[in-house]
A and B are shown apart, each in its own frame.
Chain A
Amino acid sequence: SQQGEEDPQALSIQEGENATMNCSYKTSINNLQWYRQNSGRGLVHLILIRSNEREKHSGRLRVTLDTSKKSSSLLITASRAADTASYFCATALQTGANNLFFGTGTRLTVIP
């Protein structure tokens, strides 16, 4: 079974609004990563947050990590139509190698 689970499965917002996606996982992690996938394309890495970090920013992206709750959130501020894509969280487990376990993704639609 996949390690991460995103919520919601789908999200539709107006351009300019903020979008928040959540990810829950099951076992202890080394780091958690967020990826974006446009339709028919490969995945693009957005941000990596390590288990000893609580928050990280990159441009309009803000990621939080709560290891006690085994959860993370991705916030996209001031969304644009170009942000329309699927967003996946991926966890690298604390034990073993940096194999990534992906969730099922959140499909974000930003309406112009």
Chain B
Amino acid sequence: EAGVVQSPRYKIIEKKQPVAFWCNPISGHNTLYWYRQNLGQGPELLIRYENEEAVDDSQLPKDRFSAERLKGVDSTLKIQPAELGDSAVYLCASSPTILNEQFFGPGTRLTVL
């Protein structure tokens, strides 16, 4: 069974540029999460989807971050414009339901110069 797929794995951009990350969850997993992990820290939740509905986006900086999960499968996370402080690893995870363990992708390491 394929795991959670994320792309790109690495991204380097200059500040004020836009950037997008893509995630393909495990087939059949209804719940999808986006996390941000700063260096030396644990992941912090940005947004959680149940199918195509964003049910918890309270930690998403909505002035510059946006996300979508069309058709309840793949998801994209966008930052526009990026700031220096956005440099981090962005992790996508999925689970069959909200009560199960979460399966993480390899993450996208973003560097903003």
Query: Residues 41-55 of chain A: 1 if any B CB is under 8 Å from the residue's CB, otherwise 0?
Result: 111110010000000
Closest chain A residue to B99 by CB distance? A98
For A30, A33, A98, which residue has the most chain B Cβ atoms within 10 angstroms?
A98
Query: A98–B40 Cα gap in the complex (Å)?
Result: 24
Closest chain B residue to A48 by CB distance? B101
Query: A102–B101 Cα gap in the complex (Å)?
Result: 13
B2 to chain A, nearest CB (A): 14
Whether the pair B56, A99 counts as a contact (CB closer than 8 A) is yes
**Which of A41, A88, A97, A101 is in CB contact (< 8 Å) with B55?**
A97
Closest chain A residue to B45 by CB distance? A99
Residue B72 interfacial (CB < 8 Å): no
Taking residues whose C-beta sits less than 8 angstroms from the other chain, chain A's interface range is: 20 to 34
Whether the pair B44, A97 counts as a contact (CB closer than 8 A) is no
For B42, B56, B98, which residue has the most chain A Cβ atoms within 10 angstroms?
B42
For B41, B43, B98, B104, which residue has the most chain A Cβ atoms within 10 angstroms?
B43
**Which of B55, B98, B102 is in CB contact (< 8 Å) with A45?**
B102
Count of A-B residue pairs with CB < 8 Å: 56
For B45, B100, B102, which residue has the most chain A Cβ atoms within 10 angstroms?
B102
Query: A30–B97 Cα gap in the complex (Å)?
Result: 15
Residue B103 interfacial (CB < 8 Å): yes
Whether the pair A42, B106 counts as a contact (CB closer than 8 A) is yes
Residue A19 interfacial (CB < 8 Å): no
Query: A45–B43 Cα gap in the complex (Å)?
Result: 13
Instruction: Given A97-B55, A98-B98, answer yes or no on A44-B41 (Cβ-Cβ < 8 Å).
Output: no
B38 to chain A, nearest CB (A): 10
Binding site for B on A (CB under 8 A): 2, 4, 30, 33, 35, 40-45, 48, 88, 90, 97-105
